[in-house]
């Protein structure tokens, strides 16, 4: 497949209603917050995980769309696949001394694993398959306004063991907690380098899969913990060439998200906001695509 030949950036808006979009395990799984502004945060790793999960569902029978960083994966075994496919023997923690063979191993990993050629990977475990710098990077997502995490008490009408049941005198109710945000609209920025795509083999077909994932990944990720999460806007900037025709920050600044309802009361829906694109601030050499 031919690598993409245009640079891209994108603005991605998604929201959550009565859920926890990205809990922090170091804080009792509370929704992540910027402590100085109380704006909600969702990590780039979280968003990439959802893209990986969607691709795994959508392209599970398609060659070249295996997922390297998947749940319960043993990375040494993933790396070993390249050596087996190419008929090479691995040496602990080292790539082959022959540069062509070393390059072939890393290229095989890019061709076989979608997330390696998309996001890159450091595959220098005991079975060394090299390093790849991926063409797609995604920023942390931050909520447009401060959010208020709530701790909700929940009841389970069962216990785990008979000993617990006896200790509670037959009352099998157990109490628990879940953390939610009543509503939050989040904004993330993405960067796609055509020059890095040339190295990993990231193609136009791969790019279409990424756009599809960003639009649909929450539809296959519903859970009691995450409440309702929805993709709301995907605004793409397509440059005329591989190096690009404008600084990314200038393009991002052309997209504003503002409250259109009373700001003295908390937002509770996407309709409380208005998304505006200042097209006059965008060079004619950059095409704006609203994919969502």
Delimit the domains of the chain by residue range. 8-147+179-290
Put residue 29 in one of left, alpha, beta given phi > 0 → left and psi -120 to 50 → alpha.
left
Compute the average pLDDT of residues 45-65.
94
Does the pLDDT at position 236 exceed 70?
A: yes
Q: Name, in order, each residue with C-beta under 8 angstroms of 71's C-beta and a sequence gap of 6 or more.
A: none
Poorest-confidence range of 21-30, 103-112, 282-291? Answer: 21-30
Element (H, E) at 171: none
Poorest-confidence range of 54-63, 127-136, 166-175? Answer: 166-175
Could you tell me which of 239, 235, 212 has the C-alpha nearest to residue 290?
235
Note the pLDDT of residue 28: 86
Compute the average pLDDT of residues 172-180.
76
Helix (H, G, I), strand (E, B) or coil at 238: strand
Q: What percent of the chain has pLDDT over 70?
A: 96
Cβ neighbours of 1 (radius 10 Å): 12
Q: Where are the alpha helices (DSSP H) in the chain?
A: 44-58, 75-86, 99-112, 114-119, 162-167, 194-200, 204-216, 248-253
CB 56 within 8 A of CB 67: yes
CA distance 73 to 76: 9
Note the pLDDT of residue 169: 64
Does the pLDDT at position 20 exceed 90?
A: yes
CA distance 237 to 282: 9
- Band the pLDDT of 141: cuts 50, 70, 90: very high
288 burial via Cβ count (<10 Å: 0-12, 13-18, 19+): middle
CB 90 within 8 A of CB 127: yes
Compute the average pLDDT of residues 91-95.
91
CB 86 within 8 A of CB 104: yes
Which carries the bigger pLDDT value, residue 271 or residue 156?
271
Model-level pTM?
0.92
Could you tell me which of 260, 246, 255, 259 has the C-alpha nearest to residue 278?
255
Total residue count of the chain as it appears in this document: 292
Does the pLDDT at position 47 exceed 80?
A: yes
Does the pLDDT at position 88 exceed 70?
A: yes
Does the pLDDT at position 174 exceed 70?
A: no
Note the pLDDT of residue 227: 86
State the distance between the two ends of the chain, measured CA to CA, in whole angstroms.
Answer: 26
Per-residue burial over 21-51, b = 16 or more CB atoms within 10 Å of its CB, e = otherwise = bbbeeeeeeebbbeeeeebbbbbbebbbbbb
């Amino acid at each position: 497949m031919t690598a993409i030949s245009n640079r891209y950036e994108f603005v991605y808006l998604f929201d959550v209603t009565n859920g926890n979009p990205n809990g922090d395990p170091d804080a009792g799984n509370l929704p992540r917050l910027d402590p100085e502004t109380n704006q909600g945060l969702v990590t780039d790793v979280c968003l990439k995980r959802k893209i990986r999960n969607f691709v795994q569902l959508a392209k599970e029978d398609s060659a070249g769309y295996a997922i390297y960083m998947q749940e319960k994966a043993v990375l040494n075994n993933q790396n070993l696949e390249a050596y087996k496919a190419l008929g090479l023997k691995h040496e602990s923690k080292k790539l082959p001394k022959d540069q062509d063979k070393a390059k072939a191993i890393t290229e095989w990993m890019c061709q076989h694993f979608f997330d390696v050629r998309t996001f890159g990977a450091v595959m220098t475990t005991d079975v060394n398959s090299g390093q790849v710098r991926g063409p797609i990077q995604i920023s942390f997502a931050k909520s447009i306004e401060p959010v208020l995490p709530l701790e909700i008490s929940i009841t389970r009408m069962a216990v785990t063991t008979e000993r617990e049941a006896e200790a509670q005198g037959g009352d099998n109710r157990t109490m628990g907690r879940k953390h939610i945000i009543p509503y939050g609209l989040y904004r993330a920025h993405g960067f796609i380098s055509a020059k890095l795509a040339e190295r990993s083999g990231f193609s136009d077909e791969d790019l279409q899969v990424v756009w599809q994932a960003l639009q649909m990944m929450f539809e296959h990720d519903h859970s009691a913990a995450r409440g309702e999460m929805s993709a709301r806007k995907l605004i793409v900037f397509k440059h005329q060439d591989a190096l690009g025709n404008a600084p990314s920050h200038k393009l991002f600044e052309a997209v504003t998200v503002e409250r259109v309802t009373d700001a003295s009361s908390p937002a509770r829906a996407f309709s409380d906001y208005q998304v505006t694109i200042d097209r006059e601030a965008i060079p004619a050499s950059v095409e704006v695509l609203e994919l969502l």
